Structure 1
Amino acid sequence: MQHIRFDLGDLQAMVAVVEQGGFRAAAEALNLSQPALSRRIEKLEEALNVKLFERTTRRVTLTVVGREFVGKARAVLTEVETSLLGIGDAATARAGEVTIACVPSAAHYFLPAVIGRFRAQYPNVRVKMVDEGANVVLHSVASGEADFGLNFIGTQEADLLFEPLLRDPFVLACRRDHPLARRRSVKWAELAGHTLVALAKSSGNRLMLDLALAEAPRRPAAFYEVRHVSSVLALVEAGLGVAAVPRLALPDGDRSGLAAVPLREPAVSRMLGILRRRGRMLSPHAQALYEMVAQAVPARGRARSLMRESDQS
């Protein structure tokens, strides 16, 4: 057997850089100095004879090889941790782990209730949630970091299976005291006279809207641009403008001061679905959570009624 020239600490260093989003945050999480963390990464790269990270002065990203290897590194660390927990009385501490990647709107909308039911049936199984943007969710599932994911992109990926769950229409988010809040529906062209808050061009939702409105004769121009839907809604709630957002991103009922008005001409929607790697068998616990998520969505009568309301407007 070839001599292994790295240890678990080196694998932990790599995973920490990925999960913390950079070397400084990873070093703090591991209680290491940045030079010590860098030496661990360099040692791992030398042992594997590959480059795992692309580093610039502004950001750190995984290389293609790094994206493939990080899933294996996580699997090794999880296996070691599970084995250690299996010694003596600690064997009952945890019976497994499931990682689900999801866009934030899905995490907010129905995942907490599903995870609550899963917890009741499998109290010793730990659930990790990667609640990130659509592109990160896609890469998390493709790399094996997540067992499966909830996303609205991925239908074109040859290595992934996409099971559609529900259609999520884009609606106009505005304060309840805004003049448009009383409308049954609003045309995109009518937004030209209002201050628009939009997502940044790097957002998957923004790309979807730009493509859908490419042929529109009067496209509303954004006055504010932010990176996250939560920030969009914060600006709208502060009375700084209106925004087009997925319906799932808005709170239910009267829990906020925001109204959701269907948008039309054109009506734009995204398809939310479950992603999993093609040919990969899920663990029994991951399969159980997968099925719970799939079964939870059809029961969401509010989502179906919103879809019909949007289509009829």
Structure 2
Amino acid sequence: MNLKQLSYFKAVVEQGGFSAAARHLHIAQPAISIAIRKLESELELTLLQRSERKITATTEGEVLLQHANRLLEQASIANLEMNELKGLTKGEVRIGIPSMLGSYYFPPFLMGFKHRYPELRLSVFEQGTRRLQEMIRSGELDLGVVVADAPPADLETRFLTREEMVACVPKEHPFANKTSITMDEFFSQELVVFKPGYFLREFIDRFSQQRGEAPTIAFETNLIPLTKAIVRQGFGITTFLRMVVEQDSQQDLVAVPFSEPVHLDLSLAWKKEGYLSRADRAFVEYILEHVSRE
């Protein structure tokens, strides 16, 4: 049993089949099939439940998958540490950022970090905060931005920023001249919302549950430019972080606060007791240094 076999086995289980695993790993399918057959033969166990629709792990396969995840992660960490001990000058920071922060808050920090460390590579992934937590746990990401209200116990976090959540309406909307609106007023309108897993959707869902009434959803999309276009055309209103409305280039949208102000606290997170490379540590130090100046 070797790491290559384990990585192939892991990919087949996670992708649900040999063809999907081959595409994911960018290798030929026969190579994966041969490696898995050899692995099962060596262990004298059936590791995969094969069916026409999807391949899943057997009970024995599930046990091996847990070990494979740990071994592959440790091998990756060992390789990274050895490279750093050799004085490697290049590295990569893999960070996940929600779309609004990625578009309106983080660009100056990312560009500033790249200017200071031009030899380092930045890989930025856009996802909802809940999905980002999963990606940090699985090792797909080194760092991510999460909601700070209830940080998971298995993640290390550092506070980044507090942002106000506001209703976003076109200038012609009756709410545009109000100094604030109530939640009942907001939910009386047709809404444009993010898909589940994003903090703004959780905000909508949470208040809907408190009111005991489902919102009227006109559109559901994670695309900020599309959301703004829909709101501009009067097909619904939405909620954004204030910065998203105030930094809008066309300046034809209005940020209306809620009568009971709503704020969102966001933190930078990584796996607790996990390994952070020198590049990751440099990024954390840079971000926290510059956030503290704001």
TM-score, normalising length: structure 2: 0.72
1:151 and 1:37, CA in 2 relative to 1: closer, same or farther beyond 3 A?
farther
Match of 2:284 in 1: 290
Distance (Å, rounded) in 2 between the aligned partners of 1:184 and 1:197: 21
Corresponding residue to 1:274 among 253, 259, 268:
268
Partner secondary structure for residue 263 of structure 1: coil
Partner secondary structure for residue 7 of structure 1: helix
Match of 2:132 in 1: 137
Aligned-CA RMSD value: 4.5
Does the 8 A contact of 1:212 with 1:268 survive in 2? no
1:73 and 1:52, CA in 2 relative to 1: closer, same or farther beyond 3 A?
farther
Higher radius of gyration, 1 or 2: 2
1:209 and 1:234, CA in 2 relative to 1: closer, same or farther beyond 3 A?
same
Distance (Å, rounded) in 1 between the aligned partners of 2:127 and 2:117: 25
Corresponding residue to 1:101 among 96, 99, 107:
96
1:188 and 1:247, CA in 2 relative to 1: closer, same or farther beyond 3 A?
same
Match of 1:189 in 2: 184
Corresponding residue to 1:111 among 98, 106, 111:
106
Distance (Å, rounded) in 2 between the aligned partners of 1:16 and 1:97: 26
Distance (Å, rounded) in 2 between the aligned partners of 1:154 and 1:66: 32
For residues 180-227 of structure 1, give each alpha carbon's deviation from its aligned partner in whole angstroms, at most 9, with x where no partner exists.
22322222222355322223445443223332454448x672232414
Displacement, 1:243? 1.0
1:298 and 1:77, CA in 2 relative to 1: closer, same or farther beyond 3 A?
closer
Does the 8 A contact of 2:189 with 2:216 survive in 1? no
1:203 and 1:120, CA in 2 relative to 1: closer, same or farther beyond 3 A?
closer
Corresponding residue to 2:122 among 118, 123, 127:
127
Displacement, 1:44? 9.6
Does the 8 A contact of 1:137 with 1:151 survive in 2? yes
Does the 8 A contact of 1:11 with 1:44 survive in 2? no
1:192 and 1:109, CA in 2 relative to 1: closer, same or farther beyond 3 A?
closer
Displacement, 1:5? 4.2
Match of 2:237 in 1: 242
Describe how 1:211-222 pairs up with structure 2 within 5 A.
211-216=206-211, 221-222=215-216
1:143 and 1:72, CA in 2 relative to 1: closer, same or farther beyond 3 A?
farther
Paired residues in the alignment total 285
Partner secondary structure for residue 268 of structure 2: strand
Displacement, 1:155? 3.2
Describe how 1:1-313 pairs up with structure 2 within 5 A.
4-5=1-2, 7=4, 11=7, 27=22, 35-36=29-30, 39=33, 42=36, 46=40, 73=72, 76=75, 95-152=90-147, 155-216=150-211, 221-228=215-222, 230=224, 231-250=226-245, 252-255=247-250, 257-264=252-259, 266-300=260-294
1:51 and 1:241, CA in 2 relative to 1: closer, same or farther beyond 3 A?
farther
1:12 and 1:75, CA in 2 relative to 1: closer, same or farther beyond 3 A?
farther
Displacement, 1:242? 0.5
Distance (Å, rounded) in 2 between the aligned partners of 1:289 and 1:43: 43
Once the two structures are overlaid, the 10-residue window that deviates more, 279-288 or 127-136, is 279-288
**Percent of paired sites with the same residue:** 21
Distance (Å, rounded) in 2 between the aligned partners of 1:50 and 1:294: 49
Match of 2:59 in 1: none
Counterpart of 1:142, as a letter, is R
1:192 and 1:257, CA in 2 relative to 1: closer, same or farther beyond 3 A?
same
Identify unmatched segments of 5+ residues in structure 2: 57-61
Partner secondary structure for residue 282 of structure 1: coil
Match of 1:308 in 2: none
Does the 8 A contact of 2:192 with 2:238 survive in 1? yes
Distance (Å, rounded) in 2 between the aligned partners of 1:299 and 1:21: 47
TM-score, normalising length: structure 1: 0.69
Displacement, 1:140? 1.8
1:81 and 1:156, CA in 2 relative to 1: closer, same or farther beyond 3 A?
closer
Does the 8 A contact of 2:143 with 2:268 survive in 1? yes
Does the 8 A contact of 1:104 with 1:132 survive in 2? yes
Partner secondary structure for residue 140 of structure 2: coil
1:136 and 1:31, CA in 2 relative to 1: closer, same or farther beyond 3 A?
same
